């Protein structure tokens, strides 16, 4: 790290910082500038170490040099990670299309939509058994019964299944029923949950928190990986900005950035990312243009009767059109890479 | 709620919306405007009901009329709630000054700072036993040992103690040791945790999430209250904005707003709200000006050796100065109310 | 508009609002709800009228029904506007690729890059003669000399030219030299400038302000159109969010939204939108996926010697690759529309 | 500045950066770290110089050391600037209370409110002659006639007058009529206007742009100062965040920050900062607590008939109460400083 001293810092201030750095095991390089002194510190720093130096007298700021994430970084592992899910690969250039309703609302309804999306070309199923809702008065999911319906749909359609896990006490139970465990946006920094998910060997779909920076999001992946589970799939689903025509602001720049900074695959959720079904197809195509490894979209046979997220759900007909367009675009892009 | 139809909506569209409203138990009022038709729906709506209507053909938007929170609202309970903590009252016009280090780092260090802040005029103690950290490689707290130290400090100083609870499995254990359980900003929408906290009878300090709107924050309080625990204290600690000179943007307008919209007390955390100790005193004074029921500040005997949040921690000397100024200001403000 | 009364509003409050509405020429519809009264007001409202009612006693909030923009809206003009520039059409399904350096730095350098981008497939040229810079100490552009260089490049290459106009006093001078006048993001609400641009008959490229909502941006277009110039092209160039890995957050949802709400064409600037040249190509492809009518990218023969915006400029080689990929993708998308 | 090389940077990359630095007149210090090389560059850098190095192969990032502003900085001028306006001083510990309607709506109405606020204790008058409005259909101000009314009110009441200037062509005309020229939030980066204001000798009230960082705002002050006019008063009026209960998010941390980073006085506008009159008094008191040199508030004799900003305007009665409370608080704070 680099420690920038204030213009008025005295030699005693500089000496104190240098001594403390050496005491913590850093090598010290002093540069005397026109206006201020800069101290380069070579060694293993942690976020906490950095903060300490900010509080010493005469210090203006501390500038980190290395990225705070290690095991998730592309420097640590230059080759892109491939993650196997039910015989399919995420991250190998194929584009996954994960579809299904926001919440599992009942057995026959879920099986019906599962068949419909499979027929249109979905490669995986999604559906929520546990629903975290802003209001305590809204539908909270079928819970255990929902998991059983998901498992049945998986068996019937042959498609892998994704569902959200919220309670660290239920990690093993949920892992028994589904192929991919999803960490919802609101739980991205639920570190107890992340650590539990690091103890199982099952792919984790890690949604970006609505106010998480790219760096914080990668640090959440680092929690899971450093706890023992390397199978992390990132999922961009929109960040919170001042714009409120859309439910969130889908930050597609995150797609190429995650690919540059990490070795992890990334998929995009244009349903939550926009909150409006009329924007889902154009933003799914945009996600593919940006280089995403897949999209996850909400589909409901009758959005005006959905128990949650109706306004952002596609009908099966609109979903079929999206699949056709996405697949044509994937082929066109692949043709230009050679 | 109000349903605004598109300019091109047909009579059949309007009829479909009206029928569905009546089917759901709403009374319907039609207003034919110059450019579009507006449908007023009188009845008990939920967020989910509203969303349903957004997806019907011909509907442009659905506008909520009533606020989504009930038990937390001042309409529901016009008198301000007073919350008793260890013989002291929060919300009665007194100003609480809660102080202590970010994390409990060890027995003797914590007792030392506890004595120091008590002597300077702190009315409650704070200290973290469980530390949620962005990095998995940073200090995570003394956990159970930290709780025992907190309980000892409470006994010795006679001051009530606040600590953060993160894991729903530990609610009862933590409640055995401390007076106020704090929900951290990152867990504001950890609904499993909120529901567990609704089952105990102990004051909850509910920090605002860094990307939570005022409404979402009140809805989180509603989760706790509607689960059975009415003792909720709101805590503004800064929101995330584009400005990054400060760690967060302390949104002091939240103070008078929470007082207008709810009956709950609110305190302000200028330490996390700014991330810089030089800003803590002016922002504590500003919080009092805005009408806060208290402030919570981080104090460490040696910020440059703190295991977390050093840069935003006051020394005991600076804290003493803050207490003096806050108390003088409280008296001046009270004098002007009459 | 809809006026929602507070739960405690008295009959006298409701009467006062109703009378004032009628005095201003509105038709009044009362709906008595369970908890509160709602007043529907039918008539021509302006933003100012709405605000007035917010201040009357007993009023909780005023909800707009109609959008505030008229001449820019798709309701006003259902067919998409086509804008002719130097024999080419913007908005007809073709994709325009506008390229060139951030600033015109000198005659030979500009002509060189102009030839290079034309050869690679650019359809229009860009280059700044007047450069608004955050720092008063940075290069401010060649000003009049820059305009002459742009005009010469246009003549030699046959490509239309875009440049930024900042000073309302220079509108006619700049219009004499270039084909499209660009309003920069920082001037999106410089209403004196917008009105001057409404008085000429020349296409205007209207960049979105970094903190402008979709609605404010369309209102800026409305200023130009209502002053007499209908040739407005919208340009999304990123908004300001908390994320700072990228210079701005490119809000591609704006592309389908502008197409739904207005009849105006929209192009995307992934150079300013990301600030990093490595993200420009993926985000240009994403923009096309989202349905943009074109992209505008910064190209410099030697980005490490650029007088401004070097880090986000492509080399001519990288630009050539972008053009190839964009054009293949446009063809693939068009094939799926039939 | 510090140049951080990528982990994979080769010796040739490092050599190229070093040579280029020396060519630009910098002294070079190399630090070979465990994972990467860091190059310290001592010399006069500009923003543009920094950007250049970001584009060289092998460079990961460029970190600025010195602040980009000079003449506005407290390092440049350690003593706080005092600005004289009509015999009063801004910045000397007195608190100015600037009051008046958003827009000058007519002679008798303005004189009436001017008298009222003077009587209640206002120390300066405000009123807009030119009104930049989001909608082209809203009231745009009385323009020249408004200036004459302002001048008359100044003469009658003896209070100095503030008004907004938007058009660089009108700087001298407006300066003839008023004491302080205000740069509105939307024009904070209208660099042509800032340069014109640098050429006159008249105090400038520089409002912060709704999406301007502290650094960009200070750079706007630097434009005015470096053009020759040192009389700049900063004005915090809220930034744009995701929270929309309030019109803007009043960032009071800016008050102590501006005082630490610059020598300029700062006042706070809680009317625009909140958009709701019920929040104006608590936020004015908060501003004083934070250390502001004054507040600027909108007052209208009949807010429900105001031609603009009615919802955030105080009645003269509420304003009188605000003045009393602000003045008591100023005395209390001053008493604690000794």
pLDDT over 90 (residue B124): yes
Q: Is residue D77 part of a domain?
A: no
> Is A104 in contact with A142 (CB distance < 8 Å)?
yes
D111, D42: one domain: no
Is any Cβ of chain B less than 8 angstroms from the Cβ of D291?
yes
In this predicted structure, what is the pLDDT of residue B197?
A: 97
Chain Cα centroid distance, residue B120: 26
Is any Cβ of chain D less than 8 angstroms from the Cβ of A33?
yes
> Is C62 in contact with C46 (CB distance < 8 Å)?
no
Instruction: Express as a percent the part of chain B with pLDDT over 90.
Output: 64
Bridge partners of residue B40, in order along the sequence: B2, B29
Q: Is residue C71 part of a domain?
A: no
Å from B336 to nearest chain A CA? 37
Between chain A and chain C, the number of residue pairs with CB atoms below 8 A apart is 137
B124, B256: one domain: yes
Is any Cβ of chain B less than 8 angstroms from the Cβ of C321?
no
Phi and psi for D87 in degrees, rounded to 5? 90, -10
Q: How many residues can be counted in chain D? A: 338
> Which one has a higher pLDDT value, D270 or D75?
D270
Element (H, E) at C263: none
CB atoms under 10 Å from CB of B331, counted, come to 12
In this predicted structure, what is the pLDDT of residue C82?
A: 96
Given the structure tokens 């609480």, which residue do they identify? B96
Is any Cβ of chain B less than 8 angstroms from the Cβ of D329?
yes
C173, C310: one domain: yes
CB atoms B29 and C31 under 8 Å:
yes
CB atoms B213 and D246 under 8 Å:
no
Residue from A37, A40, A275 whose CB has the most chain D CBs within 10 Å, to mutate: A40
A99, A195: one domain: yes
Q: Is residue B92 part of a domain?
A: yes
Is any Cβ of chain D less than 8 angstroms from the Cβ of B155?
no
Q: Is residue B317 part of a domain?
A: yes
CB atoms B135 and A210 under 8 Å:
no
Is any Cβ of chain B less than 8 angstroms from the Cβ of C241?
yes
Give the ipTM of the model, two decimals please.
0.90
Q: Which domain holds residue D46?
A: 2-63
Is any Cβ of chain A less than 8 angstroms from the Cβ of C328?
yes
Render pLDDT for C182-198 as a digit per residue (tens, 0 to 9).
Answer: 999 999 999 889 999 99
Q: Is residue C52 part of a domain?
A: yes
Chain B segment 121-140 residues within 8 A of A by beta carbon are 132-139
Tell me the H-state helices in chain B: 11-23, 47-54, 107-120, 144-157, 171-177, 191-197, 214-226, 254-261, 270-274, 277-290, 316-337
D257, D322: one domain: yes
Residue B257 CA to residue D279 CA, distance in Å, equals: 7
D20, D97: one domain: no
The number of domains in chain C is 2
C12, C148: one domain: no
Chain C's closest residue to A336, CA to CA, is: C325
Is any Cβ of chain A less than 8 angstroms from the Cβ of D302?
no
Residue A282 CA to residue C257 CA, distance in Å, equals: 10
> Is A250 in contact with C252 (CB distance < 8 Å)?
yes
Render pLDDT for D203-212 as a digit per residue (tens, 0 to 9).
Answer: 999 999 999 9
Chain C's closest residue to B35, CA to CA, is: C66
CB atoms B139 and A48 under 8 Å:
yes
Reported confidence tier of residue B155, pLDDT bands at 50, 70, 90 = very high
Chain D residues whose beta carbon lies within 8 Å of the beta carbon of residue A75:
7-8, 35
Is any Cβ of chain B less than 8 angstroms from the Cβ of C38?
yes
Among D142, D108, D113, D308, CA closest to C55: D308
- Mean pLDDT to the nearest integer, C307-330: 90
In this predicted structure, what is the pLDDT of residue C189?
A: 92
Mean pLDDT, chain B, rounded, equals 90
CA-to-CA dists, residue D335 to B141, C128, D282, angstroms: 41, 55, 21
Name which of A31, A43, A244 is nearest D42 (Cβ-Cβ): A31
In this predicted structure, what is the pLDDT of residue B261?
A: 94
Reported confidence tier of residue C34, pLDDT bands at 50, 70, 90 = low
Residue from C285, C318, C325 whose CB has the most chain A CBs within 10 Å, to mutate: C285
In this predicted structure, what is the pLDDT of residue C90?
A: 95
- Mean pLDDT to the nearest integer, B200-223: 96
CATH, residue D36: 3.30.70.1140
Chain D's closest residue to A45, CA to CA, is: D34
pLDDT over 70 (residue D48): no
Chain Cα centroid distance, residue A186: 11
Is any Cβ of chain A less than 8 angstroms from the Cβ of C291?
yes
In this predicted structure, what is the pLDDT of residue C24?
A: 82
A14, A136: one domain: no
B30, B107: one domain: no
In this predicted structure, what is the pLDDT of residue A80?
A: 96
Å from A191 to nearest chain C CA? 21
Residue C85 CA to residue C79 CA, distance in Å, equals: 19
CB atoms B245 and D214 under 8 Å:
yes
In this predicted structure, what is the pLDDT of residue D172?
A: 94
CB atoms B33 and C65 under 8 Å:
yes
Highest mean pLDDT among A109-113, B136-140, C301-305, D5-9: A109-113
Residue from B270, B289, B292 whose CB has the most chain D CBs within 10 Å, to mutate: B289
CB atoms C279 and A288 under 8 Å:
no
Render pLDDT for D6-35 as a digit per residue (tens, 0 to 9).
Answer: 888 888 999 998 998 888 888 888 877 767
Cβ contacts of D117 within 8 Å, gap of 6 or more: D99, D100, D125, D299, D316, D319
Chain B residues whose beta carbon lies within 8 Å of the beta carbon of residue A138:
46-48
Chain A residues whose beta carbon lies within 8 Å of the beta carbon of residue D2:
2, 38, 63
Is any Cβ of chain B less than 8 angstroms from the Cβ of C331?
no
In this predicted structure, what is the pLDDT of residue B311?
A: 82
Q: Is residue C291 part of a domain?
A: yes
Among B101, B134, B171, B145, CA closest to B316: B101
Å from D33 to nearest chain A CA? 5
Interior/surface letters B184-205, b for 16+ CB within 10 angstroms, e for the rest: bbbbbbbbbbbbbbbebebbbb
Reported confidence tier of residue C46, pLDDT bands at 50, 70, 90 = low
Is any Cβ of chain A less than 8 angstroms from the Cβ of B13?
no
Q: Is residue D122 part of a domain?
A: yes
- Three-class SS of residue A68? coil
Render pLDDT for C240-267 as a digit per residue (tens, 0 to 9).
Answer: 999 988 999 999 999 999 999 999 999 9
CA-to-CA dists, residue C151 to A159, B4, C102, C124, angstroms: 60, 50, 16, 13
Name which of C250, C253, C278 is nearest A274 (Cβ-Cβ): C253
pLDDT over 60 (residue B164): yes
CA-to-CA dists, residue D168 to B47, B207, D192, angstroms: 49, 47, 7
CB atoms D132 and C277 under 8 Å:
no
Mean pLDDT, chain C, rounded, equals 90
Instruction: Express as a percent the part of chain C with pLDDT over 70.
Output: 97
Among A279, B321, C208, CA closest to D337: B321
Reported confidence tier of residue B45, pLDDT bands at 50, 70, 90 = low
Between chain B and chain C, the number of residue pairs with CB atoms below 8 A apart is 53
Å from B47 to nearest chain A CA? 7
Among D330, A191, C22, CA closest to B143: A191
CA-to-CA dists, residue B300 to B36, B111, B306, angstroms: 62, 11, 7
Bridge partners of residue B268, in order along the sequence: B236, B295
> Is C291 in contact with C236 (CB distance < 8 Å)?
no
Chain D residues whose beta carbon lies within 8 Å of the beta carbon of residue B282:
255-256, 289-291
Among D48, D58, D55, CA closest to D12: D58
Is any Cβ of chain D less than 8 angstroms from the Cβ of A42?
yes
Is any Cβ of chain A less than 8 angstroms from the Cβ of D25?
no
CB atoms A256 and C278 under 8 Å:
yes
C34, C105: one domain: no
Among A194, A188, A223, A190, CA closest to A207: A188
Is any Cβ of chain D less than 8 angstroms from the Cβ of A28?
no
CB atoms C306 and D187 under 8 Å:
no
Helix C316-337 vs helix A316-337: angle between axes, to the nearest 10 degrees? 150
> Is A91 in contact with A83 (CB distance < 8 Å)?
yes
In this predicted structure, what is the pLDDT of residue A32?
A: 76
In this predicted structure, what is the pLDDT of residue D47?
A: 56
Reported confidence tier of residue B120, pLDDT bands at 50, 70, 90 = very high
CATH, residue A255: 3.20.20.70
Name which of C33, C43, C44 is nearest B42 (Cβ-Cβ): C33
> Is D181 in contact with D204 (CB distance < 8 Å)?
yes
Reported confidence tier of residue D60, pLDDT bands at 50, 70, 90 = confident
Q: Is residue A244 part of a domain?
A: yes
Interior/surface letters D43-56, b for 16+ CB within 10 angstroms, e for the rest: eebebbbbbbbbbb
Tell me which residues of chain A have a pLDDT lower than 50: none
Name which of C249, C282, C291 is nearest A251 (Cβ-Cβ): C249
B210, B304: one domain: yes
Chain C residues whose beta carbon lies within 8 Å of the beta carbon of residue B242:
240-242, 244
A43, A178: one domain: no
Is any Cβ of chain C less than 8 angstroms from the Cβ of A338?
no
pLDDT over 90 (residue D118): yes
pTM (2 d.p.): 0.90
In this predicted structure, what is the pLDDT of residue A228?
A: 95
Å from B190 to nearest chain A CA? 7
> Is B3 in contact with B16 (CB distance < 8 Å)?
no
- Three-class SS of residue D162? strand
């Amino acid at each position: 790290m680099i420690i920038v001293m204030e213009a008025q810092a005295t030699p005693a201030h500089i000496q104190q910082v240098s001594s403390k750095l050496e005491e913590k095991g850093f090598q010290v390089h002093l540069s005397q500038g026109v206006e201020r002194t800069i101290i380069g510190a070579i060694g293993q720093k942690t976020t906490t170490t950095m903060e300490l130096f900010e509080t010493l007298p005469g210090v203006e700021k501390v500038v980190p040099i290395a990225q705070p994430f290690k095991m998730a970084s592309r420097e640590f592992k230059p080759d892109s990670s491939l993650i196997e899910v039910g015989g399919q690969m995420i991250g190998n250039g194929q584009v996954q299309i994960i579809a299904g309703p926001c919440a599992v609302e009942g057995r026959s309804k879920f099986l019906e939509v599962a068949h419909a999306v499979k027929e249109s070309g979905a490669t995986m199923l999604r559906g929520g058994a546990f629903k975290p809702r802003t209001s305590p008065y809204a539908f909270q999911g079928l819970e255990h019964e929902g998991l059983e319906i998901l498992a049945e749909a998986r068996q019937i359609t042959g498609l892998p299944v994704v569902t959200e896990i919220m309670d660290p006490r239920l990690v093993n139970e949920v892992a028994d029923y589904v192929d991919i465990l999803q960490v919802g946006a609101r739980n991205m920094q639920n570190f107890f949950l992340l650590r539990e998910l690091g103890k199982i060997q099952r792919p984790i779909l890690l949604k970006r928190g609505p106010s998480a920076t790219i760096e914080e999001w990668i640090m959440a992946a680092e929690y899971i990986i450093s706890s023992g589970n390397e199978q992390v799939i990132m999922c961009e689903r929109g960040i919170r900005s001042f714009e409120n025509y859309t439910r969130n602001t889908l930050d597609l720049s995150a797609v190429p950035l995650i690919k540059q900074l990490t070795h992890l695959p990334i998929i995009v959720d244009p349903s939550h990312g926009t909150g409006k079904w009329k924007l889902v197809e154009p933003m799914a195509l945009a996600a593919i243009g940006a280089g995403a490894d897949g999209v996850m979209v909400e589909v409901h046979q009758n959005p005006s009767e959905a128990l949650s997220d109706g306004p952002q759900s596609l009908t099966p007909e609109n979903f079929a059109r999206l699949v056709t367009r996405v697949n044509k675009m994937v082929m066109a892009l692949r043709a230009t890479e050679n």
